[in-house]
Amino acid sequence: MDAEDRLLRPPTPSGFDASRAAERAADPTGWRYPDAVRDAVHQVIAERRDIRRFRPDPVPANVLQRILEAAHRAPSVGLMQPWRLILVRDVATRMEVRRLTQRERLRQADRFDAQAGQFLDQKIEGVVEAPLGVVVCCDHGDPGVEILGRGTIPETDVYSTACAIENLWLAARAEGVGVGWVSFYRPADLRELLGIPARVEPLAYLCLGWPDERPVRPGLESAGWGARLPLADVVMEERWRDDDAAPLLDAARGPNRIAAIAARDRSDQLIKPAGSLGALEALIERWAAITGAAPPPALRAGVLVCAADHGHIIHGTSLFDRDVSTQVAAATARSESAAGVLARQGGHTLLVADVGLARPTPPGVRDLKVAAGTADFLAGPALSPGQVDAALQAGADLAAELADDGVGCLAVGEIGIGNTTTAAALLCALTGADPAAAVGRGTGVDAAGLQRKRAVVRDALERHGAGLHVREALAAVGGLELVALTGAVLEATHRRLPVLLDGYATAVAALAATRLDPAVAEGVLASHRSAEQGHRLALDELGLEPLLDLRLRLGEASGALLALPLIAAAGALHREMATFAEAGVSGPR
């Protein structure tokens, strides 16, 4: 390519990461500081001390500014920056703080019995001696404002503020400034003294000033109060150290991080802005983590559709009777249903299996009938333990058959009148979800029908309980097609064959599989989010974002089949787009 034909790669804007994938791959340690700088950081950490005695000399404004800026550079979840710092210079205020701390110290002394004298020897004169007090507060803010990352763990604002305290302390040590943390006071007293509003929590009163001591060991260690534990006593591998702990997962079945990172590296080198393919880049990386490579541009799937009936429909949980399940299964096997048409059009291998239809198995459908439908779960368990085992094995055998045929992934679907009610009941039994949130309209019941479905699920949970072990839940309220798909998902993910979920029922089956083997979660993908409201709950439990949202309510693996061309297209882009180097794009980054 002639020089004039070469494209100049645009420079990286200021404030953005200028490193490239090839550079990071060639030198993974390239972000490391030089030895002298690194050693200085560790020295500051090792020599941080809690100072109790201070010189009266003021801390220069520029030094204090650097210390406060270090505190303000602390990490915070969702960049919420909840810390607020009150600088207390007034001597009268500091004297009142010392009075509050002295009073509380005397109240606490009796708790330490023989060590009470040592406790009282811990000086608090620094509250007045130090020329400056810093009250570090956590402003919890408006509870109605959503903060990224705080929804599940609301206390992250407190943890973030603790990081600001540590930053301040380490920066002060580097400047030679002493810090003493005073913890003998009642927060309500400090609130009143300093006018701190109710939504704000004072976490620390810190004394800052030039130290009138230079301890080589922590003060409490020198006083014999305690000693630092060996590192080995506080570090545990993988999980809490406990002789009764459950066995570890097989690491060999975890995600292939080397392949995933290689896929990410290639995405970074393609002639496009970094991250511009959005969710497709995450899809490619996840596929590589499962299989060891990006999706192939020509993707042939094994489409497994399991069919069964449900005993609870006698309570009006569906608009249709059991005959419809058999009719739809037969039409799918003849490639006349939506799933059949899409499978034929895409050149995929379709396998429809009867694991629990109430009527005889129709032509073209694989007969693996475990029972003629489930029992009514309001009258007793839907399935026996033996039927659960048989359905799990049937699903595993079907997935193994498709895998042995060389398919590139397993797309799963189901057929069964009433199975959205079963899926909702199983989701609630596994997770404790509210039936009002888990039960939807299914094939289109009216308002009265929706109330009937919810009442049936509530009654089932009252009879069998919620938060059940997965095998108990499958037996209590499961459906044969859902149990079979649970077995299929287990088998496919064990073989590192990606599993593409269809709608609500398949997501709940996959959730059951993860409860049997948590490693399964790494091998499943969500094709779409259906119109059934509980589907979102199930996907959230699985931690999956769907590729499509078309408001489908069809089932039969139709949503999964619609997503397959998108996956293949992502694979084609990843494999066939030119890199900057291949396209002759050069110049500054």
Asked if 439 and 534 touch (Cβ cutoff 8 Å), the reply is yes
Burial zone of 435 (CB within 10 Å; 0-12 exposed, 13-18 middle, 19+ buried):
buried
Pair type for strands 83-88 and 132-139? antiparallel
**C-alpha distance from residue 59 to each of 47, 64, 86, 330, 521 (Å):** 20, 6, 16, 84, 55
Q: Alpha helices of 213-256 — where are they, by DSSP H?
A: 219-222, 231-234
- Amino acid identity of residue 569, one-letter, is A
The arrangement of strands across the sheet holding 301-308 comes to 366-367, 349-356, 301-308, 409-415, 499-501, 524-526
Burial zone of 289 (CB within 10 Å; 0-12 exposed, 13-18 middle, 19+ buried):
buried
Asked if 377 and 269 touch (Cβ cutoff 8 Å), the reply is no
- Amino acid identity of residue 140, one-letter, is H
The arrangement of strands across the sheet holding 200-209 comes to 83-88, 132-139, 200-209, 178-182
The residue to which tokens 């009252």 are assigned: 462
What tokens were used for 345?
Answer: 């059009």
Of 491, 556, 576, 582, the active-site residue reads 556
What is the enclosing helix (H) or strand (E) of 281? helix 279-291
Print burial letters for 241-259: b (CB count within 10 Å at least 16), e (below 16).
eeeeeeeeeeeeeebbeeb
Backbone angles phi and psi of 472, in degrees to 5: -65, -45
Residues with Cβ < 8 Å from 466, sequence gap 6 or more? 428, 429, 431, 432
- The total of other beta-carbon atoms located within 10 Å of residue 44's CB is 16
| 211 vs 51: CA distance, rounded Å | 7
Residue 138: beta bridge partners? 83, 201
| 87 vs 394: CA distance, rounded Å | 70
Q: DSSP letter at 277?
A: T
Annotated catalytic, 47?
no
Q: DSSP letter at 4?
A: G
| 386 vs 373: CA distance, rounded Å | 14
Active-site annotation, residues: 556
